[in-house]
Amino acid sequence: MSEAKTTVETPLMKQYNAIKVKYPGALLLFRVGDFYETFGQDAVAASKVLDIVLTKRGAGSTSETELAGFPHHALDTYLPKLVRAGHRVAICDQLEDPRFVKGIVKRGVTELVTPGLSYNDNVLDKKQNNFLASIFAGKELGISFLDVSTGEFYVAQGNENYVLKLLQSFAPSEVIFSKSSRERFEKLFGAEYNTFALDEWVYAYDYGYDKLISQFKTASLKGFGIDGSGEAIIAAGAILHYLDDTEHKDTSHIASISRIDEDRYVWLDKFTIRNLEIVHSQHEGGVPLIEILDHTVTPMGSRQLRKWMILPLKSKEAIDERLRVVETFHADDYFADKVREPLKQIVDLERLISKVAVNRINPRELLQLKRSLKCIVPIRQALKDHTSVELQRMAEQLHPCEDLIDKIERELREDVSINSNQGNIIKEGIDAELDELQKIAFSGKDYLLQVQKREVERTGISSLKISYNKVFGYYLEVSNANKDKVPADWIRKQTLVNAERFITEELKVYEEKILHAEEKLVVIEQRIFNAMVQHAATFISQIQQNARVIGQLDCLLSFASVARANRYNKPEINDSLILDIKAGRHPVIEKQLPVGESYVPNDIYLDSDQQQILIITGPNMAGKSALLRQTALIVLLAQMGSFVPAESASIGIVDKIFTRVGASDNLSRGESTFMVEMTETASILNNLSHRSLILMDEIGRGTSTYDGVSIAWAIVEYLHNHGHKDCKPKTLFATHYHELNQLAEDLTRVKNFNVSVKEIGDKIIFMRKLKEGGSEHSFGIHVAQLAGMPNKVVFRANEILHFLEKDKHKNEKKKIQELPKATPQMNLFEADPRFMQIQDMLSKVDINTLSPVEALLKLNEVIGVLKK
Ligand SMILES: Nc1ncnc2c1ncn2[C@@H]1O[C@H](COP(=O)(O)OP(=O)(O)OP(=O)(O)O)[C@@H](O)[C@H]1O
C-alpha cells in the first residue's frame, strides 16, 4: 500500500498504464502490496458494483484520478460480483517478491476472467455449465461452446434458426464473434448476452484449424467428425485464441471436441424450449420442468440432466438403452440405493480435475478428489455384478484410478488446510528430510516450553511466557510487576505499557533452527504436493470419463426416483407414426394443484391415417393449453429416456416439436404480439416433417375474428394437405373459433374434441376431460366474472353475446349497430328492487352512532330482504 501512496503518479502509474492498454475493455485489478487497486473509470465502476469507497489521488494535480481498492484476500468475494455484473476482469499480480526487489516490482496480468471463462467456485453454479460461445457467419453459421471449468467443447453448424436455438438452449454466459459481424449478431441476439468482439483475422479457417490440431495434438480433425464443418472450425478456433488472449495457458483438460449433430436430437425450436418451460420458467416464481425432474445428487448429474433435456434423442435404440437402466433402478429400490449412497459422496470431479490441469487445486480439494474417486469403487463393483448389460458397460467405462488414490492416500494428510504453504499437508514417512525438519520444528517448540518452565523456576516469575511475533521472533514477556526479577543475561527488546519483552542468546539459536526448519519444510511439502498434482494430471482423461459416466448414472437414477415419487410409467418407443397416451398428466401442473385437488388425466391419440389433427375447443380455463403442453412434455420425457406421467404411452418417434402457445409479448424488440405469433407460425410451417408434433394454441387470436378464423382455417388445411402425401405432422390445435369445427366435415384426418365443462344453473364446473365433438360456448364472460371484472361490464357483455348469438349469419357490424344501447338498467342496485330497498335502508344508517349490536341487527335485516 505504501508504494501506492508515494509513487502513485510516477513509476507505478506508468507501469499501470502500460498494462492497462494491453487489456482494452477489461477492468484491471492492480496488485499493490496487500491490496488490489483500481483506478479511473475502473475505480468508479468497481466502487459501484462492490460498494467500496471511491477516493481521489493527486487531487488538484494533472494526474488526479479516482481510486478504489480492496484487500487481496477478498478477491474471491469481490471477483464474482464484478464478473456477474458483466465485467471482464484482468487480474494483475506482483510477479516478484517485493522483499527481494529494489524499486518497482514486476507486475503482469495472470488471468483475465470474463463471464464465460472462469474457474472460480463463487462465479460458477454447480448445477449449470458455464459456457462461452463463439459464432461465425460464412455460408452457414458455425457455433462453438466451451465450458473451461469442465473442459467440455462442442461445435455445430447450420442455419440461423438452428444456431439461435442452440444459443438459447446452452444459454452461454458470454458470446464472442468477429468485429465485422458485431452489427449483425448484436441485432440478432446481442441484448440477451454478454458479448465481446475479436479482431477479424482470428476468424479464419486455416488459423482455426491449426489452433485445434495443436490443442488436441492430432494431425487432423477427422477423428472428431468435424473435418468438413468449416464455419464450426473457425468458431472453435477463435475460442482457443480467446483462451490465449485471456492468459488461460494451461488447457490440457480441453482434450477433445464433439459435434452437436442435428440429426441425433429432437428439433425443439427456440419458441418450444421457451413455451414448454423446460429449463426456465416464463413467469417469475414459475416452476420449469427441470425442477420437477432433478433428483440428481451430484453436480455432474444435474449438468448432464440439463443437456439431456435440451437434446432429447431420436434413436429408438439409444432411448431404449436409457429406459432399460431406469427400469432396472425403478424395479429394485434396494439396488438403486446401493448405487445412490456412494454417489451422494462424490463432489464435482469434473471441475476438480480441470483445476488440476490448470494447477489451481488446493490440498483440501485434492483430498476431496481422492475421496470421490474412492466412492466410485463400490459403484463400479455394484454395476459390474449386475445382470444388466448396460450397467456392466458403464462399469467398464469407470476407471478405478487406483494408482492415484493410493498416492494421495499415502502422502496427503487427512486434515489438510486449503493452503499448500502452511505446513502439515504431507504425511510422515514420505520424505526423510521432511520428517527430520518436522521433528526439529516440533521438538524445537517443545524445547521452548522447557525453557519457559526453567526460567519461571529460575526467576520466580510465574506469569512468564514465551511468545512469537514477526519483528522480534521468540521473546519472553514480563509484566511490570515482575520487572525487577529479570536476570541480567536477558536482552531488553521492547517496552509496553504493562510489560517488557526480552530475548536471550539461547532463544535466538533455537529460533533460527525452528524458523529455518519451518521454511524448508514448507518448500519440501510444496514440492511433494506439486508432484502429486502432476501425477493427478496424468489421469485427466480417465477422470473426465468417470465424471461423464457418473453424470449419466446420476441422471438415470434421478429418472427412476422421480418415476417412483410421481407415479410415472415406462413409455413404449417405436418407429410408427402413432402417438397413443393413456391417462396422461402435466408433470408440473399436477405438482402445483391446491391440496385436495387432483389432476384429471386425459387420453390423446394421434396418427397419420385417421386422426392427424385434433381441433380442441372448450371454455377458457378448461385446460386446453395444459393438455397441449402435457402431450409435448410426455413425448420429450420419453425421448430423453425418462418414464412419463401417464398410465401408458406408446410413442412413435417424434423428430421435431413445434409449439405456438400463448401470446408472448415481444415488445422490447419492437414487434407486435401478432407479428411474433405469425413469425413463429411461419417458422413451423416452413420446417415441418412427417414425424413432427405440432401444438398450436389459439392461433390468430391477435387479430380481428375474421382474419383470425381465416388464418387458422388455412393453417389447418395446409397441415392436412401439405405438399407431398407422406407429410402428415401430428397436430393439436386449441382454439376458441368454433367455426373451425366445420373443417372436420371435409378433411378426413381432422377430428373435433372438446375439454368439457358442466353447467349447473348459472355456474360452470370444469371437468377437464377431453371428449369427442366440438363445443358451443367459450364461457369467456364467466371467466371474466371470476376474474373480478366489474358487474356492469359482465352484464353488458352477456347482453351483447346473446344478441350476437341470435343470428350468426348477419353482418357483424350491422348487428352491433342494431344492439340496444346500454341502459341504466345495468346498474345492479336499480336492476333488482331488493337492492333498492337495501340501499334505502343503509342510507339512513349513521355509522358513527351505531353500536356493534345494532350493526348486527341491521345486517340481519339486510339478509332478511335478500332472502325475499
Ligand atoms: N387436467 C387438469 N386437471 C386439473 N387441473 C387442470 C387440468 N388442466 C388444467 N388445469 C388447471 O386449469 C388451469 C387452466 O388451464 P389452461 O390454461 O390449460 O386452460 P385453457 O383452456 O388453455 O384456457 P384459455 O383458453 O383461457 O387459455 C391450469 O392452470 C390448471 O391449474
- Tell me whether residue 281 is annotated as binding: no
pLDDT score of 62: 66
Q: Name the burial class of residue 103, with classes exposed (0-12), middle (13-18) and buried (19+) by CB atoms within 10 angstroms of its CB.
A: exposed
Has residue 847 got a pLDDT over 80? no
Q: Whose CA is nearest to atom 23 of ligand 1?
A: 621
Ligand 1 pocket test target in 625, 736, 754, 782 with most atoms within 8 Å of CB? 625
- Tell me whether residue 625 is annotated as binding: yes
The C-alpha angle with vertex 341 and arms to 338 and 346, in degrees rounded to 5, equals 130
Q: At which residue does the C-alpha cell 499480480 appear?
A: 93
For residue 507, the enclosing domain spans 432-522
> ipTM above 0.85?
yes
Alpha-carbon distance 689 to 729, whole Å? 6
Whether residue 384 is contained in a domain is answered as yes
Q: pLDDT digit string (tens) for 325-359?
A: 999 999 999 999 999 999 999 999 999 999 999 88
From ligand 1's centre to the CA of 629, what distance in Å? 10
As a whole number, mean pLDDT of residues 513-538 equals 89
Has residue 830 got a pLDDT over 70? no
Of 248, 175, 299, whose CA–CA distance to 555 is shortest?
299
Q: Is 645 in the pocket of ligand 1 (CB under 6 A)?
A: no
From ligand 1's centre to the CA of 305, what distance in Å? 28
- Tell me whether residue 620 is annotated as binding: yes
Ligand 1 pocket test target in 588, 589, 699 with most atoms within 8 Å of CB? 589
As a whole number, mean pLDDT of residues 833-861 equals 76
Q: pLDDT digit string (tens) for 786-824?
A: 777 777 777 777 777 777 666 554 544 444 455 555 444
- Tell me whether residue 682 is annotated as binding: no
Give the whole-number percent of the chain exceeding pLDDT 70.
90
Whether residue 407 is contained in a domain is answered as no
- Tell me whether residue 229 is annotated as binding: no
Maximum Cα–Cα distance for the chain, whole Å?
A: 122
Q: Ligand 1: which atom is nearest the Cα of residue 662? A: 27
State whether 552 and 507 are in the same domain.
Answer: no
Edge-to-edge order in the sheet of strand 499-503: 465-469, 473-479, 499-503, 491-495
**Domain-terminating residue out of 458, 491, 522:** 522
From ligand 1's centre to the CA of 621, what distance in Å? 5
Q: At which residue does the C-alpha cell 377431453 appear?
A: 770
For the chain, count helices (H), then strands (E).
31, 27
pLDDT score of 580: 97
From ligand 1's centre to the CA of 743, what distance in Å? 25
State whether 718 and 620 are in the same domain.
Answer: yes
pLDDT score of 826: 42
State whether 665 and 810 are in the same domain.
Answer: no
Whether residue 483 is contained in a domain is answered as yes
Identify the three-state secondary structure at position 480: helix
Has residue 861 got a pLDDT over 90? no
Alpha-carbon distance 490 to 478, whole Å? 11
Residue 691: phi and psi, rounded to 5, are -100, 10
Identify the three-state secondary structure at position 147: strand
- Tell me whether residue 357 is annotated as binding: no
Has residue 664 got a pLDDT over 70? no
Q: Is 629 in the pocket of ligand 1 (CB under 6 A)?
A: no
Alpha-carbon distance 799 to 831, whole Å? 14
Whether residue 417 is contained in a domain is answered as no
Q: pLDDT digit string (tens) for 709-767?
A: 788 888 888 888 875 567 889 999 998 887 888 888 888 889 989 887 777 766 777 77
User: Which residues partner with 258 through β-bridges?
Assistant: 154
Q: Is 757 in the pocket of ligand 1 (CB under 6 A)?
A: no
Has residue 163 got a pLDDT over 70? yes
From ligand 1's centre to the CA of 547, what distance in Å? 41
Has residue 48 got a pLDDT over 70? yes
Q: Is 176 in the pocket of ligand 1 (CB under 6 A)?
A: no
Where is pLDDT greater, at 445 or 601? Answer: 601
Has residue 473 got a pLDDT over 90? no
Q: Whose CA is nearest to atom 9 of ligand 1?
A: 623
From ligand 1's centre to the CA of 622, what distance in Å? 5
Q: Whose CA is nearest to atom 8 of ligand 1?
A: 623
Please count the CA atoms within 13 angstroms of the CA of 660 that sit on its side-chain side: 28
Whether residue 418 is contained in a domain is answered as no
What's the CATH number where 338 sits?
Answer: 1.10.1420.10
Q: Are strands 763-772 and 750-760 parallel, antiparallel or unpaired?
A: antiparallel
* Rg, Å, the chain Cα set: 36
Alpha-carbon distance 633 to 647, whole Å? 15
The C-alpha angle with vertex 667 and arms to 665 and 670, in degrees rounded to 5, equals 135
pLDDT score of 845: 77
From ligand 1's centre to the CA of 633, what distance in Å? 15
Q: Is 768 in the pocket of ligand 1 (CB under 6 A)?
A: yes
Q: Is 626 in the pocket of ligand 1 (CB under 6 A)?
A: yes
Phi-psi region of 33 (alpha: psi -120 to 50; beta: other; left: phi over 0): left
Q: Ligand 1: which atom is nearest the Cα of residue 597? A: 4
Whether residue 152 is contained in a domain is answered as yes
What's the CATH number where 159 sits?
Answer: 3.30.420.110
State whether 708 and 814 are in the same domain.
Answer: no
Has residue 8 got a pLDDT over 50? no
State whether 200 and 343 are in the same domain.
Answer: no
Q: Ligand 1: which atom is nearest the Cα of residue 629? A: 18
- C-alpha cell of 28? 484491471
User: Which residues partner with 176 through β-bridges?
Assistant: 134, 196
Q: Are 234 and 210 in contact (CB under 8 A)?
A: no
State whether 774 and 688 are in the same domain.
Answer: yes
State whether 457 and 396 are in the same domain.
Answer: no
Q: Are strands 107-113 and 88-94 parallel, antiparallel or unpaired?
A: antiparallel
From ligand 1's centre to the CA of 171, what distance in Å? 30
- Helix H, strand E, coil C: the string for 778-824 is CCHHHHHHHCCCCHHHHHHHHHHHHHHHHCCCCCHHHHHHHCCCCCH
Has residue 24 got a pLDDT over 90? no
**Most confident range, picked from 186-190, 552-556, 719-723:** 552-556
Q: How confident is the model at residue 4 (pLDDT cuts 50, 70, 90)?
A: very low
Q: Is 424 in the pocket of ligand 1 (CB under 6 A)?
A: no
Rounded to 10 deg, the angle between the 363-385 and 333-344 helix axes is 160
State whether 818 and 842 are in the same domain.
Answer: no
147 to 125, 257, 297, 372, 822: CA distances (angstroms) = 12, 11, 21, 22, 65
Has residue 486 got a pLDDT over 80? yes
Q: Ligand 1: which atom is nearest the Cα of residue 778? A: 25
From ligand 1's centre to the CA of 645, what distance in Å? 17
pLDDT score of 829: 46
pLDDT score of 704: 66
From ligand 1's centre to the CA of 627, what distance in Å? 8
Identify the three-state secondary structure at position 699: coil
Q: Is 710 in the pocket of ligand 1 (CB under 6 A)?
A: no
From ligand 1's centre to the CA of 420, what distance in Å? 59
From ligand 1's centre to the CA of 714, what distance in Å? 27
State whether 506 and 461 are in the same domain.
Answer: yes
214 to 157, 196, 254, 255: CA distances (angstroms) = 22, 24, 12, 10
Whether residue 285 is contained in a domain is answered as no
pLDDT score of 614: 95
Q: Ligand 1: which atom is nearest the Cα of residue 780? A: 26
Where is pLDDT greater, at 303 or 24? Answer: 303
Has residue 419 got a pLDDT over 80? no
Ligand 1 pocket test target in 621, 754, 777 with most atoms within 8 Å of CB? 621
Spatial neighbors of 448 by CB under 8 A, at least 6 apart, are 466, 474, 507, 510, 514
**Domain-terminating residue out of 262, 282, 307:** 262
State whether 657 and 742 are in the same domain.
Answer: yes
Give the whole-number percent of the chain exceeding pLDDT 90.
44
Identify the three-state secondary structure at position 597: coil
What's the CATH number where 754 sits?
Answer: 3.40.50.300
Buried-exposed string 844-864: b where 16+ CB fall within 10 A, e elsewhere: eeeeeeeeeeeeeeeeeeeee
- Tell me whether residue 13 is annotated as binding: no
Q: Is 624 in the pocket of ligand 1 (CB under 6 A)?
A: yes
pLDDT score of 389: 95
Alpha-carbon distance 296 to 263, whole Å? 28
Q: Are 285 and 239 in contact (CB under 8 A)?
A: no
Where is pLDDT greater, at 507 or 384? Answer: 384
pLDDT score of 76: 85
Spatial neighbors of 735 by CB under 8 A, at least 6 apart, are 615, 616, 617, 698, 699, 700, 712
Where is pLDDT greater, at 202 or 597? Answer: 202
Q: Is 616 in the pocket of ligand 1 (CB under 6 A)?
A: no
pLDDT score of 832: 64
Q: pLDDT digit string (tens) for 209-268?
A: 999 999 999 988 888 888 888 999 999 999 999 999 888 888 999 999 999 988 899 988
Q: pLDDT digit string (tens) for 374-399?
A: 999 999 999 999 999 999 999 999 99
From ligand 1's centre to the CA of 800, what distance in Å? 26
Q: Whose CA is nearest to atom 26 of ligand 1?
A: 620
Q: Whose CA is nearest to atom 5 of ligand 1?
A: 599
Q: pLDDT digit string (tens) for 115-159?
A: 899 888 878 888 889 999 999 999 999 999 999 999 999 999 998
From ligand 1's centre to the CA of 760, what distance in Å? 19
Whether residue 125 is contained in a domain is answered as no
- Tell me whether residue 443 is annotated as binding: no
Q: Minimum mean pLDDT among 276-290, 578-592, 820-834: which range?
A: 820-834
Q: Is 620 in the pocket of ligand 1 (CB under 6 A)?
A: yes
Alpha-carbon distance 359 to 865, whole Å? 85
Where is pLDDT greater, at 860 or 180? Answer: 180
From ligand 1's centre to the CA of 623, what distance in Å? 3
State whether 554 and 700 are in the same domain.
Answer: no
Q: Output the pTM of the full model.
A: 0.80
Alpha-carbon distance 329 to 641, whole Å? 13
As a whole number, mean pLDDT of residues 105-113 equals 90
State whether 712 and 587 are in the same domain.
Answer: yes
Q: At which residue does the C-alpha cell 440429426 appear?
A: 263
The total number of structural domains that make up the chain: 7
Identify the three-state secondary structure at position 116: coil
Q: Minimum mean pLDDT among 454-468, 603-617, 703-717: which range?
A: 703-717
Q: At which residue does the C-alpha cell 514420505 appear?
A: 430
Q: At which residue does the C-alpha cell 371474466 appear?
A: 784
Q: Is 756 in the pocket of ligand 1 (CB under 6 A)?
A: no
Mean pLDDT score across all residues of the chain: 86
User: Which residues partner with 67 through β-bridges?
Assistant: 39, 55
